Each structure stands twice: as structure tokens, then as C-alpha cells.
Structure 1
């Protein structure tokens, strides 16, 4: 039997370039050829941006959605509809990556870094999508 294979995860964003840049920096990805930031003075009106890993596999795509309403998690007023988990090897790296994510524009949403079973931080990306940094 043949099964479908996940090509990548796509996220909606009011500002697709800014969100793509956030994840490009956070995860060490690069743009698919043709999706790079256009040189000035060309306008950046891209509404679908694909990010690749070092092996040129699609990892993440960002699409423009001007009317996006950010999740209000942990409140369910506007629920989270998807979140990603990013694994790090140990508690020291968890704190390093949390600080990096904040410097790149992420917002802390929950700190469970002292949980003995699964230390983690829940963060909101610049568009409000929750994601987890966890030791695992």
C-alpha cells in the first residue's frame, strides 16, 4: 500500500515575509529558489513562501492571510488550530533556544521548564501561532 507523505506544514500569516523570516532564523532553514527577499526597491508582495532544510526538503510554508485573527491560547476565545513542537537535547539548550526565539520576536505563553517529566516552553510566534520548545 502507498501512503501520502507530508510535504510540509503551512501557516497563515498577516505578514508572510516576517513570519517566514522568524522561522528561517529560528530553525536554520533557507528559502526555496525564487522565494528569497527581493532586492530593494522591488516590493515584497509574496503571499506563499516555502522554507527548505539543508537537504532541500520542504519543511514549512507561509501563506498570506490578511484577516488572520491570532490565537488567544490558553484562552479558547480564538483557539489554537495547530501547533508545532521543536525538540532540543537538554535543559541548557532549552533556555538558549527560548532566549533566541524571544530575540526573534516570539512571546512566552507558558513556562514548564522545571517539569521533571517534560521540560518545555510554550511560545507564540510573531503571528500568534503557539509552538513548543521541549527537551526530548
Structure 2
């Protein structure tokens, strides 16, 4: 083993806004003190209940992926029991639906345009 994964970092124009969006989707604590980094207007974090840390880094010229074009680098899969209810909450939190054509999963974009999937458990 070379190292240990500290976090997953998403580039975005507004780190605090995106951290709060994912807190609504995944739960957890935004900008919890952590010796590994400091938070400010350019860096925000979300410590999830499952131990994963998502970090959000300000990028001034951020350009979101264009779903479903092949330029996408990665996406998050979020397991849910009820796709309809979870999808409504994502929309209410500021996300937008990209593809709702599948019965087992739906593709959404977060407020910065990153695609992620809600997947029926």
C-alpha cells in the first residue's frame, strides 16, 4: 500500500453551497474541524456518517461535465430505498435531473453540474 485515501475532491465555483447540497443528500457534518486541512471560502468539507470525506474546492473557471458525453471523470452513486422520494429531495436541494429513464437508477447533477446517480437499493 502506498497511501490512504483522505477524501474525494470536487472542483466547483461555490464550495460552501456544494457542501451543503451534499449534506442534504448524504447527511453528515459540513466544515468539521480536521487537522488535515483548513476550511475557507475556497475549500469546504463534508464528513459523512459512513466515514467518507467529500471536499469541495473553488475553481474560478469551473466547467461541469456534459452528461452523457465521455468527458466525465467520475461520479458518485448514492443508494436509496425510494427513487421518487429521494429524487424529489435532490431537486428541492438544488439538483437537476439529467436522466430518469431507468427504473433502478436516475442521473442527477449537483448545483455545480457534477453528475451523480441515485440507485435503488
**Considering the TM-score relative to the shorter chain, is it more than 0.5?**
yes
- Residues 112 and 3 from structure 1, CA distance in 2 versus in 1: closer, same or farther, beyond 3 angstroms? farther
**Cα distance in 1 for residues equivalent to 2:49 and 2:67:** 32
- What is the root-mean-square deviation in Å for CA atoms of aligned residues? 2.2
Q: More displaced, 15-24 or 45-54?
A: 45-54
Pairwise CA distance, 1:75: 3.4
Number of the residue aligned with 1:51: 46
83 and 111 in structure 1: CA distance in 2 versus 1, 3 angstrom threshold = same
- TM-superposition CA deviations, 1:48-97 (whole Å, max 9, x none): 11111247x34211010010011111234xx21111101123xxx11111
In 2, the alpha carbon distance for the partners of 1:33 and 1:70 equals: 26
**Corresponding residue of 1:134:** 119
**C-alpha contact 2:32 2:47 (8 A) present in aligned 1:** no
* 4+ residue runs over 4 A deviation: none
Question: Is the Cα contact below 8 Å between 1:50 and 1:58 reproduced in 2?
Answer: no
Match of 1:61 in 2: 55
Q: Deviations over 1:85-120 (max 9, x none)?
A: 01123xxx1111111001111110001342xxxx11
Matches of 2:100 and 2:52 in 1, distance apart? Answer: 30
SS in 2 for 1:126: coil
Give 1 or 2 for the bigger CA radius of gyration: 1
Distance in 1, matches of 2:33 and 2:4, equals 24
Q: 1:70 to 1:101 in 2, by over 3 A?
A: same
Contact 2:78 2:118 in 1 (8 A): yes
Q: What are the ranges of 5 or more consecutive residues in structure 2 without an aligned counterpart?
A: 35-39
